[in-house]
Amino acid sequence: MNNSLARQLWQARLDGALIDVADEGRPADEDQAYAVQAAIIELAPVDIAGFKIGATSEAAIQALGVEGPFFGPMFDRFCHDTGTEIALSSEHQPALETEFAIGLADDLPGRDAPYSQEEVAAAAAWVAPAFEIAGPRFSAPIKGNGNLIIADCGINMAFICGPRTTDLSTVDLGEHPATLILNGEQVTSGHSGMSVLDNPLGAVAWLASHPRMRERGLRAGDILSTGTCTGLTSVSAGDVADADFGALGKVSVKFVGR
């Protein structure tokens, strides 16, 4: 199942299409889900730019039917700077997430002892406002299909990074605000402390400490998108999204059709 489903999901990502996954073809548990994800990483002819962290709220955990937060790879081909245009496939039901991103200056190698937020802060190169665009490459609903979401690289479609603040000592990531504006209208807001993982540094500490990261670890240059603070907002071709992170600056993206 691993390689076949991995190939189908990757090709559907490239084609802007959806695949049908029969009940017997779906990952039965997280082990199988992460095995499919690993197979996609192996076959994809692109490099990993970093990782996204998903299901960082109790509501998302319950809705998706997962045991807790999960992670998925972000590939460099789908990572962009603020102000870019992103081509969307409506088949993938794209949704926007407003997130805090952290880039690493130093490795956080796999180890038995969990990492602390202080260790993450010491290893971080920058923090930035960001968008993650999410959307499934399978035809089943996302509700209750957490293992299939994990298999599908956490349904990451694209990542957009805003200006990078390199002096983290000037930033309080406890409850730093963020406001989402879609087509000139404020639609929602949130802050960096809304995650079950405490805050963006806590999210990276969780990922670095994850048993499934034991072999690879997190590496200098990795970008970590730490979970939405504004929920999921559906977007389509023609939409323009901006997010205001106050002292951290703004991030923007325009969506076009494929």
Domains for the chain: give ranges and CATH numbers: 2-257 (3.90.850.10)
Q: Read off the pLDDT of residues 157-202 as tens digits, 9 standing for 90 and up.
A: 999 999 999 999 999 999 999 999 999 999 999 999 999 999 999 9
Task: Look up residue 182 and give its two tokens.
Answer: 């879609």
The pTM of the full predicted model, rounded to 2 decimals, is 0.96
Q: How confident is the model at residue 258 (pLDDT cuts 50, 70, 90)?
A: confident
Average pLDDT over residues 85-98: 96
Strands (E), 44-184: 48-54, 70-75, 79-81, 84-88, 95-104, 124-134, 156-161, 177-182
Task: Provide the 8-state DSSP code for 108.
Answer: B
The residue among 18, 54, 92, 80 whose CA lies nearest residue 253 is 80
Q: What is the pLDDT of residue 40?
A: 97
Average pLDDT over residues 74-90: 97
What's the whole-number average pLDDT of the chain?
A: 95
Q: What is the pLDDT of residue 101?
A: 98
CB 21 within 8 A of CB 140: yes
CB 106 within 8 A of CB 179: no
Helices (H) and strands (E) in the chain, counts: 6, 13
By three-state DSSP, how is residue 143 classified?
coil
Q: What is the pLDDT of residue 1?
A: 59
Q: Read off the pLDDT of residues 37-78 as tens digits, 9 standing for 90 and up.
A: 999 999 999 999 999 999 999 999 999 989 999 999 999 999
**Burial class, 207, CB count within 10 angstroms (exposed 0-12 / middle 13-18 / buried 19+):** buried
d(CA 129, CA 16): 27
Q: Which residues contact 202 (CB under 8 A, 6 or more apart)?
A: 117, 195
d(CA 3, CA 79): 25
The residue among 76, 180, 166 whose CA lies nearest residue 127 is 166
Q: Is the dihedral of CA 143, 147, 150, 152 positive or negative?
A: negative
CB 70 within 8 A of CB 150: yes
Alpha helices in 146-246 (DSSP H): 146-151, 200-209
Q: What is the pLDDT of residue 25?
A: 80
Task: Look up residue 216 and give its two tokens.
Answer: 């690879």
